[in-house]
């Protein structure tokens, strides 16, 4: 099958400040509070976005804990020039009263912390579920209301495509096209797609198509990218001894797996959305090194990171 050329610099309009301040971001390891010194090291390396995860769903059930945690995060980040992206806890699926309330409180947390985006795992429903269509409809109904609420908080909802950690159970969210369609049907300026390139690489392997062929048609829905590497849908692919065998979703640094970064570079470099690196801490180089690698891979230039590395 012939693969069409990627569209030229397509993507949704973003706030001017997003494009002015640089696009590289870094996911902070879950379970670790970001010290100001660590945040400053990210900033010095050339990163402009920080992604933080709400550490537990239990935090969303207590207003005092939620407010205190979010406010302290805002104060720490306020000592830097970093912009914040918040990631909702795993396992929260809109469409029922309890989860809808948790997403509402996650939006409140994001707003209190000063985040621009809240990343959410949408359509995470087993394809074999007897009620898959009804559950997807319930999720869409809830997300329409939630997207409106996000706008009131000044936060945008970014719905992420997922991938299996190991070969096995298939979910709707493992298909990037399905997540993009969910975003399209919400038809809200306050919601967009978080296109996870590592997850899409695995999906392309299962679909027996090229990664560019899979993701290029989705770009006009994307408001943030998450970047990491793996070996696609090949659990038995040769890998170094320090990399877990059989696992698909490895979250390696770019270049350590088989994601075709050279082909992706023109597509990513001209899109306005932030580029957030999500690297497993055990496989993660120093921030300055990681920033230099990504700027070279994407053709963004490595001056900022290089200066920092030389200090």
- Write down the pLDDT at residue 310: 40
- Write down the pLDDT at residue 308: 39
CA distance linking residue 247 with residue 98, whole number of Å:
32
CA distance linking residue 195 with residue 271, whole number of Å:
12
pTM (two decimals): 0.91
- Write down the pLDDT at residue 77: 97
CA distance linking residue 40 with residue 138, whole number of Å:
42
User: What CATH architecture is 16-304?
Assistant: Alpha-Beta Barrel (3.20)
CA distance linking residue 158 with residue 161, whole number of Å:
10
Q: Return the structure tokens found at 26.
A: 């870094």
- Write down the pLDDT at residue 311: 39
Q: In the chain, where are the structural domains located? A: 16-304
Mean pLDDT (10-residue bins), the chain, 311 residues: 46 43 89 95 96 94 96 97 97 96 98 98 97 98 98 98 95 98 98 98 97 98 98 94 95 95 93 96 93 80 43 39
Closest CA to 181 of 193, 198, 163, 170: 193
Neighbours of 249 (CB within 10 A): 18
Residue 26: CA atoms inside 13 Å, Cβ hemisphere, count? 28
Q: Return the structure tokens found at 104.
A: 């509402």
- Write down the pLDDT at residue 295: 81
Coil, helix or strand for 244?
coil
CA distance linking residue 311 with residue 309, whole number of Å:
6
């Amino acid at each position: 099958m012939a693969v069409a050329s990627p569209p030229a610099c397509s993507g949704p309009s973003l706030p001017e400040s997003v494009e002015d301040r640089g696009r590289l971001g870094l996911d902070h390891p879950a379970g670790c509070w970001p010290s100001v010194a660590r945040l400053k090291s990210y900033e010095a390396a050339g990163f402009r976005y920080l992604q933080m995860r709400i550490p537990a769903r239990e935090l969303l059930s207590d207003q005092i804990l939620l407010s205190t945690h979010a406010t302290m995060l805002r104060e720490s980040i306020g000592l830097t020039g970093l912009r914040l992206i918040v990631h909702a806890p795993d396992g929260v699926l809109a469409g029922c009263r309890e989860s809808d309330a948790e997403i509402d409180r996650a939006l409140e947390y994001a707003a209190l912390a000063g985040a621009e985006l809240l990343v959410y795992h949408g359509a995470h429903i087993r394809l074999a579920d007897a009620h898959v269509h009804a559950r997807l409809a319930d999720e869409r109904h809830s997300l329409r209301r939630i997207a409106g609420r996000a706008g009131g908080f000044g936060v945008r909802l970014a719905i992420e495509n997922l991938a299996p950690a190991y070969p096995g159970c298939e979910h709707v969210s493992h298909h990037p096209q399905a997540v993009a369609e969910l975003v399209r049907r919400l038809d809200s300026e306050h919601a967009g797609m978080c296109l996870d390139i590592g997850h899409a690489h695995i999906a392309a392997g299962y679909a027996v198509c090229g990664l560019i062929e899979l993701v290029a048609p989705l770009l006009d829905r994307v408001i943030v990218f998450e970047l990491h590497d793996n070996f696609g849908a090949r659990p038995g692919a040769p890998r170094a001894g320090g990399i877990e065998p059989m696992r698909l979703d490895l979250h390696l640094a770019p270049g350590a797996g088989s994601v075709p970064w050279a082909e992706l570079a023109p597509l990513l470099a001209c899109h306005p959305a932030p580029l957030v690196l999500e690297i497993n801490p055990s496989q993660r180089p120093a921030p300055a090194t990681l920033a230099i690698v990504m700027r070279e891979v994407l053709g963004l230039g490595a001056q900022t990171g290089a200066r920092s590395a030389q200090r």
